[in-house]
Structure 1
């Protein structure tokens, strides 16, 4: 915690009378685009007296790199479920004291009790938000009604295809090739996936790194087809009124599922602000605020009970944990280094 120093000798009454700014702490987030929207960050700052500074990542691989180079720069990080275990094993984070997180008991037990979250006898992360990665496309530019990942590999759309710049491209290609366990591919399967992605490269306009970049690519008509965070890019593009719309679909090979969690960076000097933030994000303001800002799904059905109407609850899968079973939920690959090596080889290929 880095509260401003108070003058020595102040009485308790004078201390209470100090303006909030004099007691302000700070909180440094390393998070995804949309996860620090002013619509809920401003109320948090007002309630807590903690000034929030944000650095954004474009990939789960960015967390390790930035934490290794940051040296105590960050307080709270929000990696996806397939990266939580690596953050713990690498020593980048401290365990969570669950009693300090108001609302922790309202989180879906399927998330809060996940083996990746609960390790060594206690939680290492606080679930924050979840959702899926589906396909997005321009109905006025794509023939028929697409239903397959194959759209990302269709030569008919050469130069108008995009994909997320992340090792998860391996998961997409592996599902398209029919491999059943995309998180534990053999050397032979990885080679086939690499060959397929290299074959695709001439079709790709650009690998996008943030949701905002994909929104720009589609809004500027540079891209007609991509994988995308379900709900976010389509909402943003369609709101621009460009004279066309984009649509989404879940491919027959299944969409991916993800869940992002909050973790406490090791040695954070701002733990008081950090725990206030972890609690705030489990409150109605935090859960509904983030869900509305991103289009993603809340992890705490108790928190959103009164701040979402029935239509939005249905849209955001509140209470429909079975939806998770329809997705290929992210896991840390059995051979993470090999997957990263494969994806880097794809990007380095001519």
Structure 2
């Protein structure tokens, strides 16, 4: 507990915090979430049906959640961290348990997600699964003589200045897998030193660490980078829709892609609990699940909800009723020594 609270406070020193606003009044809902999770395509339908006005603020990394919540209570009502960050939010005391009886459609969620060890703990449910997907590699086929098949493409000097990487501690996971380590969430001190050294060696090759999917889209659309890791489905869709005269393609490296699942968590002492539960229920409905899947290109967590609002082709593309796909991914977990991982990643970024 003390370590996690310390991490939240330390995060304030490294993440820019926006000026604080007063707590939202009843009938308003402030959601701290990711790009594409609260768009005009489906949120107005919720607002009209519920009478709850949604204001969304966005994060670029899971590390942002602790920093922004530690900045002061009463600003956010719902947060949507990834599975590897859910335990930290619980143990740091930022969130309250979920009354699943108040979440319509909860029983339709894949049990692999709704009953996951980090979702259910201390005899309570702490998160409502929202959307899931993978993190693969994206590249410009016209810039490579042969199709890459490995994470090695991110460390190849031949691609100097045209490589990007997500500004997130998961860079350690990618590098650890590239170095052949299987225990990516429980690396030894020696292994972490090797990972740090490799990432520092890579820095001269990096054009920029991207902080959001929108930033990566711009980097690729403006031809500043040709290869990066990316949230599967989103950046490729956005870049290709710009029709810049070239296309980008995603691929799963031979070291496997990473997997993630984002969930809705109820911020402790929110004054907008009624709206929060209405929102969670809406996001388990056909309009919510198909809306967010369409907006992002990610995979729905509730196959019952999307049964009538997705074509068979889209269901296949979004892995509906194919939870076996999870087994092919390196699913994110909270690192055993989260503080050490953050320390190493910050050391990499601080290195010349």
Q: What TM-score, normalized to structure 1?
A: 0.93
Structure-2 separation of matches of 1:288 and 1:267: 30
* Residue number in structure 2 paired with 1:170: 172
Structure-2 separation of matches of 1:278 and 1:308: 20
Asked if 1:291 corresponds to 2:290, the answer is no
Asked if 1:27 corresponds to 2:29, the answer is yes
* Residue number in structure 2 paired with 1:45: 47
* Residue number in structure 2 paired with 1:325: 327
> Structure 2: where are the runs of 5+ without partners?
1-23
Q: 1:159 aligns with which of 158, 161, 167?
A: 161
State the Cα RMSD in Å.
Answer: 0.7
Structure-2 separation of matches of 1:31 and 1:231: 18
Say which one has the larger Rg. 1
* Residue number in structure 1 paired with 2:226: 224
Structure 1 ranges of 4+ moved more than 4 A: none
Asked if 1:300 corresponds to 2:281, the answer is no
CA offset digits 1:39-59 (Å, max 9, x no partner): 111101111111111110000
Structure-1 separation of matches of 2:73 and 2:127: 20
Q: How does 1:198-277 map to 2 (within 5 A)?
A: 198-277=200-279
| CA apart distance, 1:143 | 2.3
Q: What TM-score, normalized to structure 2?
A: 0.93
Structure-1 separation of matches of 2:42 and 2:221: 26
Q: 1:57 aligns with which of 56, 59, 63?
A: 59
* Residue number in structure 1 paired with 2:348: 346
- Could you say what secondary structure the match of 1:70 adopts? coil
| CA apart distance, 1:71 | 1.8
Q: 2:317 aligns with which of 310, 315, 318?
A: 315
| CA apart distance, 1:228 | 0.1
| CA apart distance, 1:72 | 1.3
| CA apart distance, 1:120 | 1.2
Structure-2 separation of matches of 1:151 and 1:142: 10
Q: 2:119 aligns with which of 117, 121, 138?
A: 117
Q: How does 1:65-76 map to 2 (within 5 A)?
A: 65-76=67-78
Structure-1 separation of matches of 2:251 and 2:171: 17
CA offset digits 1:55-86 (Å, max 9, x no partner): 10000000000000032100000000000000
Structure-1 separation of matches of 2:214 and 2:72: 24
| CA apart distance, 1:38 | 0.8
- Could you say what secondary structure the match of 1:38 adopts? coil
